[in-house]
Each structure stands twice: as structure tokens, then as C-alpha cells.
């Protein structure tokens, strides 16, 4: 919000007020959709000034660090270039008379609107490479010894997955879960990754169902690993660098997927695993958890690394960031000649079987964790309502990492909407559009 100063001081205030400080891109860069970035430029003058032109530009730039050096002498350690630019002339006085080129003392406003393509690269804030956008407005003054007035406003561009129109008309959203069903000699394993789109710093549920097909079968270990692969490219310098980082997901809690009758029967004969037992299964290679008491059916709730460590998945060709989830289950079972031994004693000859699942997932920007990530789909509300963890239901704000960029984002979006309503009510240009038809008229 601009600060209005008394007119007697001779001060000036130039600012850019946006309807929304963030642009949400939906779907992939190949989707033919358009987005609107609109607002107005306001200028507070304490005395009249002569002006030749008022314009505004929307600029996107990329910045990358190259410690190994660029160029023939490898003496250039960074590179910055413009990847997008749009400009609008808000007012031009060159064709008018000299009297009309004078802006009087008071408040002057110019509305603007940019049409943005879905092919734009989203904002990237990696430690080695960045993509950022901003608006800059310039008031060109006339006369000797005068300087032009300028103001800048950063613009945040985020990307969300796009749901089809057919799914919306069917009153449901497509399921974003990933299910893998494996039929092996030693067991039948079903792995359900409930979310293929998830923000950094949030909770990440995975359901495991492991049904043994033979006696004396043990789960030795379960490994859940998230891999981030970064590719940096500069075609003009023929430079390329690849980095890979692995993150072992930490377990927050778990719940049993057994029915009430099965859970009661199981508890009467066998002790249910504790959180300590489950963490040992995830961190030790020889946990030796028996499956003689029945199938292993549990929903494990992991916590993803926060935005300080993990980047969001990107679509920009020169700064490509992709994520892969790797799950591996190792089981042990006796050989054919030792299958009839005492089930309470481990067999002497053991066969180890591995169940491996590798799938790409999309990590969303951390600032989208409340708007998108914590809202369940229609199917999840019906099917997994009894399995939702108490920590999510009772304390939603603590269900994810409250990073500084998320708090700043929420502060800006809430304040900008309130301020923009005041501006829109005072400025009649934005009230010229006809309202949408009522539901009664459509029926």
C-alpha cells in the first residue's frame, strides 16, 4: 500500500497495485490456456509535472550459477538472461498538445491487463538457478535535468495440475493415487501411494498390504526414498550440469487398515506393532517382522522434506527439476526343503525377495500446500474418511512445515485482495463488465 505524504513536501509516490499478486498456471506448458495479470499503476503528485509517456513492462528472467566456469576462459561464474517480456503503453502524450502532457497534482491511475500463456516457466528458487518475474512501470518526464520515475513489483507464478472438464461435470475429481499390485510366490503385495501431487513440507501417506503365500515369511525392511534430479543447461554456452539428491522420508505415524473384527481377533492373539517397531522396519535391514499372524496392512504417514531442502518440480527446459519415489520391500522366506520347520524359529536356509516400485511424482510449490494439498478428492473423502490421521484433522496448521515463504505468501494474498476491493470500488473502469446470468435465467 503506497504511503501518501503531504502535498507541501514536493514528494512523489509511484506504485503498482495488483488484483492478485500470484498467477496460477494449470496443467503442462503444452496446454493451450491463457491467464490474466491485471492491476493498476497509481501516481501521487504534489505538484504538476510534464510527462511524455507512461508505460509498464512484464519481464521474466533466469539466473544460474556455474562454479565450473563458462566461456572459453571459464571465467564467467553466472549467467542472467531475459526469457519473457511484454509491454503496454498506458498513456502517450507525444501526439497530444503540450498542455495535455502535464499531469496535475493529485492521484493518477492507469489500469493494465496482461494476457499470459500457460507455456511460461513457473517461478523457480533453486540455490543454483532461479526464474523470477516482475512488473516495472516508468513515467518519462520532459524537460532538462528531470529524471524518469520508476516502480517495480515482483510477480509470483505457480503451477498446479489441471483437471479435465469432464471430471468436473461428473461432480468428482480424478484420483491422483498410484497403485501397484504384485503377485509373487512368497507374497501378494499392494502399494498405494495416495497422492502423486504433493507439496514440500507436507504429510505423505502410503498404504501397504503384504499377504504371505507361505509360512515363516518375514519382512526384513521397507525403504522409501525420494530422489530429486536437477538438470541445468545453457545452449548458448553448450554447458550442462546434472545433480541428484536422495531424501529418506521420515515416518510420522501409522494406522492399521484391518477391519474392526479382524483387528479385534488379531489383538487377542498377537501384539500389534508399535511406532518404534515400524521405524525399525524402515531404518534397519534385518527387522525380521513375522507375517505368520496375517497380512501386513498399514497406512504409513511420512513427512516430506521442506522447501529449504526440496525444490518443486519444474517444466522449464533449461532448469529441469524432476522427482522420483522409490519403494523397496525386502522379505525373507525359507527354501523349499525348510518350509515345514518350527514357525517360531528362523530357518537356516533363507531366500530373500525384493519388491521394487519406482514412479515419478510431482512436488508442488510450498506455497500451494494449503490451497491444494490438504484438500482431499471426492473419492478420498468417501473411502479414506476413517483412515485420516488425527494430526491432520485436529490441527491442520501443524500438518505441514510453516516455512517463511509460505507465511509471506499468505500475508500478501490476503492483504492484496482487501486493498484491491477498495481500489476497484473507487475506479469505475473495472465495473463496466456485465454480471453473469442468474441460475433462474439459465433454467
| Backbone CA torsion sign across 276, 282, 286, 289 | positive
Q: Find out whether 43 and 53 touch, Cβ atoms under 8 Å.
A: no
Q: Last residue of some domain: 127, 160, 193?
A: 160
Residues 362 and 264 in one domain: yes
CB neighbour burial string for 164-179, b if at least 16 within 10 angstroms, e if fewer: eeeeeeeeebebbbbe
Residues 48 and 152 in one domain: yes
| Backbone CA torsion sign across 69, 71, 73, 75 | negative
Show the domain range for 56: 7-160
Residues 56 and 203 in one domain: no
Residues 224 and 147 in one domain: no
How many CB atoms lie under 10 A from the CB of residue 127? 9
CA distances from 144 to 46, 49, 50 (A): 20, 12, 11
441 located within any domain: no
Instruction: Give the SS3 label for residue 242.
Output: strand
Q: Last residue of some domain: 131, 160, 189?
A: 160
What pLDDT score was predicted for residue 270? Answer: 59
What pLDDT score was predicted for residue 440? Answer: 54
Residues 185 and 131 in one domain: no
Q: Last residue of some domain: 160, 190, 223?
A: 160
Report how far apart the first and last C-alpha atoms of the chain are (Å, whole number).
43
The residue written with cell numbers 517397531 in the block is 277
Residues 316 and 347 in one domain: yes
Nearest residue to 311 via CA among 232, 229, 413 = 229
Residues 187 and 202 in one domain: yes
Residues 140 and 288 in one domain: no
229 located within any domain: yes
Residues 155 and 266 in one domain: no
Q: Tell me how long the chain is.
A: 443
Q: What is the rounded distance in angstroms from the CA atom of residue 403 to the CA atom of residue 174?
A: 29
Residues 230 and 132 in one domain: no
258 located within any domain: yes
Domain at 146, CATH number: 2.60.40.640
241 located within any domain: yes
Beta bridge partners of 250: 303
433 located within any domain: no
Calculate Rg over the CA atoms of the chain: 29
113 located within any domain: yes
Q: What is the rounded distance in angstroms from the CA atom of residue 192 to the CA atom of residue 205?
A: 9
What pLDDT score was predicted for residue 406? Answer: 75
440 located within any domain: no
Sort 385 into a burial class: Cβ within 10 Å, 0-12 / 13-18 / 19+.
Answer: exposed
Q: Outline where 232-357 has alpha helix (H).
A: 260-269, 275-283
What pLDDT score was predicted for residue 268? Answer: 47
Beta bridge partners of 109: 42
Q: Give every strand in the sheet of 13-18, ordered side by side.
A: 13-18, 34-45, 106-117
- Residues near 214 by Cβ (< 8 Å), separated by ≥ 6? 185, 186, 333, 334, 339
The number of domains in the chain is 2
Q: Find out whether 209 and 376 touch, Cβ atoms under 8 Å.
A: no
139 located within any domain: yes
pLDDT averages per 10-residue partition of the chain, 443 residues: 38 85 87 92 92 95 93 86 96 65 90 94 94 96 85 93 52 70 93 91 93 91 96 92 94 84 55 87 90 88 91 92 96 70 59 94 86 48 39 42 73 55 44 49 50
Residues 176 and 152 in one domain: no
Residues 115 and 219 in one domain: no
Amino acid at each position: 500500500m503506497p504511503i501518501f505524504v503531504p502535498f507541501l513536501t514536493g514528494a512523489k509516490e509511484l506504485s503498482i497495485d495488483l488484483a492478485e499478486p500470484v498467477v496460477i498456471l494449470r496443467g503442462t506448458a503444452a496446454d493451450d490456456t491463457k491467464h490474466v495479470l491485471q492491476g493498476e499503476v497509481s501516481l501521487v503528485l504534489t505538484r504538476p509535472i510534464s510527462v511524455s509517456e507512461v508505460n509498464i513492462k512484464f519481464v521474466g528472467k533466469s539466473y544460474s550459477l556455474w562454479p565450473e566456469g563458462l566461456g572459453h576462459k571459464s571465467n564467467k561464474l553466472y549467467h542472467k538472461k531475459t526469457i519473457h517480456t511484454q509491454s503496454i503503453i498506458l498513456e502517450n502524450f507525444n501526439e497530444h498538445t503540450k498542455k495535455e502532457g502535464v499531469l496535475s497534482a493529485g492521484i493518477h491511475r492507469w489500469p493494465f491487463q496482461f494476457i499470459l500463456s500457460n507455456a511460461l516457466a513457473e517461478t523457480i528458487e533453486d540455490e543454483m538457478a532461479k526464474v523470477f518475474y516482475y512488473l516495472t512501470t516508468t513515467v518519462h518526464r520532459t524537460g532538462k535535468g528531470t529524471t524518469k520515475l520508476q516502480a517495480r513489483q515482483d510477480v509470483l507464478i505457480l503451477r498446479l495440475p489441471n483437471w479435465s472438464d469432464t471430471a468436473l461435470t461428473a461432480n468428482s475429481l480424478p484420483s491422483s493415487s498410484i497403485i501397484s499390485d504384485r503377485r509373487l510366490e512368497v507374497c501378494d503385495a499392494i502399494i498405494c501411494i495416495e497422492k502423486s501431487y504433493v507439496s514440500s513440507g507436507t504429510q505423505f501417506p502410503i498404504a501397504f498390504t503384504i499377504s504371505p503365500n507361505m509360512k515363516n515369511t518375514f519382512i526384513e525392511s521397507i525403504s522409501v526414498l525420494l530422489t530429486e534430479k536437477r538438470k541445468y543447461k545453457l545452449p548458448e554456452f553448450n554447458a550442462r550440469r546434472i545433480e541428484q539428491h536422495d531424501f529418506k522420508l521420515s515416518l510420522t505415524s501409522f494406522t492399521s487398515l484391518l477391519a474392526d473384527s479382524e483387528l479385534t481377533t488379531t489383538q487377542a492373539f498377537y501384539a500389534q506393532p508399535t511406532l518404534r517397531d515400524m521405524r525399525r522396519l524402515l531404518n534397519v535391514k534385518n527387522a525380521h517382522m513375522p507375517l505368520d499372524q496375517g497380512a501386513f496392512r498399514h497406512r504409513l504417514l511420512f513427512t516430506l522434506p521442506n522447501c529449504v531442502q526440496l525444490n518443486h518440480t519444474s517444466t522449464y527446459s533449461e532448469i529441469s527439476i524432476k522427482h522420483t519415489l522409490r519403494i523397496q520391500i525386502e522379505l525373507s522366506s525359507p527354501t523349499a526343503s525348510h518350509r515345514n520347520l518350527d514357525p517360531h524359529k528362523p530357518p537356516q536356509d533363507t531366500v530373500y525377495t525384493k519388491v521394487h516400485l519406482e514412479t515419478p511424482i510431482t512436488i508442488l510449490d510450498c506455497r500451494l500446500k494449503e490451497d491444494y494439498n490438504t484438500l482431499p478428492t471426492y473419492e478420498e473423502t468417501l473411502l479414506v474418511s476413517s483412515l485420516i490421521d488425527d494430526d491432520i484433522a485436529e490441527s491442520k496448521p501443524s500438518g505441514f512445515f510453516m516455512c517463511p515463504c509460505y507465511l509471506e505468501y499468505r500475508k500478501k494474498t490476503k492483504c492484496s485482495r482487501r486493498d484491491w476491493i477498495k481500489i476497484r470500488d473507487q475506479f469505475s473502469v473495472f465495473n463496466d463488465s456485465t454480471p453473469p446470468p442468474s441460475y433462474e435465467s439459465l433454467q
